[in-house]
Amino acid sequence: MSAVSLTMEGSIGLLGGTFDRLHDGHRALILGTSLECDHLQIHVTSDAMITNKGPLIQDIDTRLNQLQEMLVQESINASLHVLHDRYGPAVSLEKSSVIGCTEETLSSCEEINKIRIEGGLSPLRIVKIGHILDEGGHILSSSRIRSGIVDQNGKFWLSNSETTLDYSMPKILDEELKQPMGKLFPGPSEDPSIAMNLALKSISDEIKIIAVGDVTVFSLQIANREAWISVIDGMTHRKKWDKFEQIEMDEKLLINAKNPPGMLTNSIFKACSAAISQSENVTIFVDGEEDLVPIPLILMAPLGTILLYGQPNEGLIVREIDIPAKTRARRFFDSFVVRGPS
């Protein structure tokens, strides 16, 4: 697959990798290596080679398309190729002279040179590119992005300092927040199991679920499907719900929070953060109102998590937490008004 391959003349440089969730660290690696050669070949790991890395790795077409867009934007003389084995053409391509790497992949480049020398070829000049650090001082990586902590530029979706404050929702968001944030599965309010059963058919058993709202949590339990994080407040339609006592909760895994209507408090941020850090299923009980809690949960949760919540008088909303979901949640949060530290 070609990208911005203006010419194949001159020195050829090589890069290999998965390039999942293309980020600033990838950009630095590509740009840095491209400066050391006339033409850069980027070999992208095939889908068949990454089955052991988990289901959240983007497919080869998505990764290639993202790379191609980046190469066009940066006007880099490069071509894209699919890598089907560990070393690809690096051990046999006679015309290549440079190979790029990071500290983690340096040993692989050294192995490649050893094989080249044994085969009678000249070793490649190894160009080691330094890491880009994210806002937390960690190496910016695809795994950090998949964990939901930072975006592809290394910026926190929600910083620790922001969670020390209380916020109130501006009136301007009233109508927009009433609109579904995901796919609506319709069903009558008097029988929420209809919408729930429809929704669960679309969700793999391996995927973690965050359920917000008493009716949603209870319906999920009736369907014998576990929620990783359940958020309840004992209310529905702003009135006490008579079936609240039937919701199953483990007191050892119960997190209490205070969050008045129309607000996001330091208390709810702490509760969401504590829940996200748990591998076991947990319940957040909100003294106040849980309507706005999806916003911090979306900002904190790993990519690929599913959010379930009820849409009044319409049914159930299913939203996969992906980059667009986090971007939208961040846009909402940026409109909130700071009330001060708790």
Report pLDDT digits (tens) over 6-32.
455 679 999 999 999 999 999 999 999
pLDDT reading at 276 higher than 80 = yes
Is residue 141 pLDDT above 50, yes or no? Answer: yes
pLDDT tens-digit map of 45-88: 999 998 766 678 999 999 999 999 999 999 999 999 999 999 99
Is pLDDT of 328 > 70?
yes
Q: How far apart are the first and last CA of the chain?
A: 55
Fill in the DSSP letter of residue 139: B
pLDDT given at position 342: 59
Distance between CA atoms of residues 24 and 262, nearest Å: 36
Provide the residue type at 311 as one letter.
Q
Mean of the per-residue pLDDT values of the chain: 93
Rounded percentage of the chain residues whose pLDDT exceeds 90? 84
Question: Which conformational region is residue 158 in: left (phi greater than 0), alpha (psi within -120 to 50 degrees), or beta?
Answer: beta
Q: What does the pLDDT read at residue 50? A: 87
Residue whose structure tokens are 């990764």: 63
Angle at which helices 214-222 and 193-200 pack, to 10 degrees?
Answer: 70
Q: Which of 252, 250, 188 is nearest to 215 (CA)?
A: 188
Q: The dihedral of CA 145, 151, 154, 158: what is its sign?
A: negative
Which band of pLDDT confidence, cut at 50, 70 and 90, is reported for residue 251?
confident
331 Cα distance to chain centroid:
16
* pLDDT recorded at residue 5: 46
Q: What whole-number distance in Å separates Cα of residue 319 and Cα of residue 298?
A: 10
Residue in the block written with tokens 């398309």: 65
Question: Side chain identity at 284, as an amino acid letter?
Answer: I
Kindly report the pTM of this predicted structure.
Answer: 0.90
Q: In angstroms, rounded to a whole number, what is the distance separating the alpha carbons of residues 29 and 18? A: 13
The three-state secondary structure class of 212 is strand
Tokens 């080869």 belong to residue: 60
In what helix (H) or strand (E) does residue 141 lie, and over which residues does it extend? none
Nearest CA to 79 out of 87, 71, 69 is that of: 71
pLDDT at residue 303 tops 60: yes
Q: What does R_g of the chain's alpha carbons equal in angstroms? A: 24
Distance CA 233, CA 199 (A): 23
Tell me the C-alpha distance between 335 and 292, whole Å: 13
Q: Dihedral, CA atoms, 304, 333, 281, 58, nearest 10 degrees?
A: 10
Q: What pLDDT score was predicted for residue 9?
A: 61
